[in-house]
Amino acid sequence: MVNRPDNPAPPPGGQPDPAAGFAVTEWLSDSGGSSDVVISSRVRLARNLAGHPFVHKATRDEREAVLQTCRDWILSTKISDRIMWVDLHESPAIERNLLVERHLISKQHAKGKPAPTAGTPVAAAEEPRGVAISIPDERLSIMVNEEDHLRVQMIRAGLALDTCLEAASAIDDKIEAGLDYAFSPKFGYLTACPTNVGTGMRMSVMLHLPALKITGDIDKVKRAATDMNLAVRGFFGEGSDAVGDLYQISNQTTLGKPEGAVLTDLQDAIIPEVVQYERVARRNLMSKRRVALEDQVYRALGCLRHARMIGADEAMQLLSLVRLGVVLGLIDEVNAKAASLLWLLVQPAHLQRVVGRELDQEHRRIERATLIRDRLRGT
């Protein structure tokens, strides 16, 4: 069930894209700092309510009480100009998956727990959980009853961790003005996972690194990140593969390191260095292996323009090469924003939303190829 106060636009939010049938999320706009390499920046704050058991230790009634408390405060307080609330345990699976694909909730938050027996109403069987989303920009999402009682997420296009942190902290202050957080003077914010204790903050940047993948240097970046106690994950975060040459790099330490220090390390040192590595790799490909690179790029574009059936992972990988060709000036009939948007539209839930009906795997492959051909024809 979706509750929509103060007359919001139909979900999801973002800039309208009539051809897609719904609005386009802002973080895929190919804007912001270092947008040739950096797709988006995100800051997430993990918080729990004092006096309530953590989610994994709470009864269903206790989780319902937390959900109601958080929902009432978020919707009654001026958290953001326009907020859309979604009760995930009452929403169809395809709508939840749509939010996962838009990076507004996690896969874990979408799944919850299934009904224990046949015939049990979904609303009565699944875990009480919800999410508040700012519209139309979708910059803010507040997950309730995920791993922690609250997870405040702020996301922006390009390299903008400082802006994300400032905005997330402001939202956090508004929430804390009405809700008492579980906090220890010694350890900081208390969280379900020990790795989040302290600031409860995770910063992450999504990077498009196709040149480093082609040159075989991507493993060096992964090893260097691991040595610096950073996590390197795929498009959908923890446990996901780096399809489309998209990698998320985030901090793993939250205890004993101030938020400002984490921000400085990532935004001013580590991420710019990775961006520079990718740019150097792109220049080397253009100067030393240009014909081979052009061949890869145009083969990818040709396949996307003519394929009659295609899977999501294959489409993302081909779109990665096309976007690389666009950024390097090898392709001028497609723009980077169109290529990036297709990363989203080829995902199962978005594809079915565009088509307007549920599809089995075979028909998704057919409709995905049709969608890509139509979109590339219009660029």
pLDDT one-digit tens code per residue, 178-197: 999 999 999 999 999 888 88
Residue 241 belongs to a domain? no
Q: What is the pLDDT of residue 113?
A: 61
- Between CA 150 and CA 181 the distance in angstroms is 10
Residue 230 lies in a domain: no
What are the beta bridge partners of residue 207?
Answer: 38, 247
In a domain, 178, yes or no: yes
Residues 6+ apart with CB under 8 A from 249: 204, 205, 207, 225, 230, 231, 232, 266, 270, 271, 274
- Same domain membership, residue 303 and residue 176: no
Cα maximum dimension of the chain: 64
Query: 35 and 177: one domain?
Result: yes
Residue 209 domain-assigned (yes or no): no
Q: Which residue has tokens 């998704």?
A: 364
Residues 10, 144 within the same domain = yes
Q: Are residues 199 and 308 in the same domain?
A: no
Last-in-domain residue among 203, 223, 255: 203
Q: List the alpha helices (DSSP H) in 243-328.
A: 259-263, 271-288, 290-306, 312-327
CA distance 302 to 297: 9
Whether residue 361 lies inside any domain: the answer is yes
Q: Which of 176, 203, 230 is the last residue of a domain?
A: 203
User: What confidence score (pLDDT) does residue 67 get?
Assistant: 97
The reply to whether 14 and 138 lie within a common domain is yes
- Asked if 159 and 267 touch (Cβ cutoff 8 Å), the reply is yes
At residue 372, the pLDDT reads 96
Same domain, 197 and 299: no
- Identify whether the C-beta of residue 57 lies closer than 8 Å to the C-beta of residue 312: no
Give the CATH number, domain containing residue 9.
3.30.590.10
Structure-block tokens of residue 77: 């307080």
Amino acid present at 124 = A
Whether residues 194 and 314 share a domain: the answer is no
Instruction: Tell me which residue of 165, 166, 347, 331 sits closest to 246, measured CA to CA.
Output: 347
State the pLDDT at residue 22.
Answer: 55
Identify whether residues 191 and 295 lie together within a single domain. Answer: no
Q: Is the peptide bond before 16 cis (omega within 30 degrees of 0)?
A: no
* 231: in domain: no
Q: Give the separation between CA 105 and CA 109, rounded to whole angstroms.
A: 6
Q: Is the domain of 197 the same as that of 321? A: no
Q: Is the peptide bond before 121 cis (omega within 30 degrees of 0)?
A: no
57 and 153 inside one domain: yes
Q: What is the pLDDT along the chain (379 residues), one digit of tens a residue?
A: 344 443 333 344 444 443 444 566 888 888 889 999 999 999 999 999 999 999 999 999 999 999 999 999 999 988 888 999 999 999 999 999 999 999 999 999 998 764 444 444 444 457 899 999 999 899 999 999 999 999 999 999 999 999 999 999 999 999 999 999 999 999 999 999 888 888 999 999 999 999 999 999 999 998 888 888 888 888 766 655 678 999 999 987 767 678 888 899 999 999 999 999 999 999 999 999 999 999 999 999 999 999 999 999 999 999 999 999 999 999 988 888 888 889 999 999 999 999 999 999 999 999 999 999 999 985 5
- Cα–Cα distance, 319 to 32 (Å, whole number): 21
Residue 302 one-letter amino acid: G
- pLDDT at residue number 235: 77
SS3 179: coil
CA distance 123 to 127: 8
How many domains, the chain?
Answer: 2
With respect to residue 208, please indicate whether it lies within any of the assigned structural domains: no
Q: Are residues 300 and 190 in the same domain?
A: no
Do the domain assignments include residue 141?
Answer: yes
Q: Computed over its alpha carbons, how large is the radius of gyration of the chain?
A: 21
Among 28, 15, 13, which residue's Cα sits nearest to residue 345?
28
Q: Say if residue 19 is in the same domain as residue 126.
A: yes
Domain that holds residue 191: 2-203
**Where is the domain boundary, 162, 183, 203?**
203
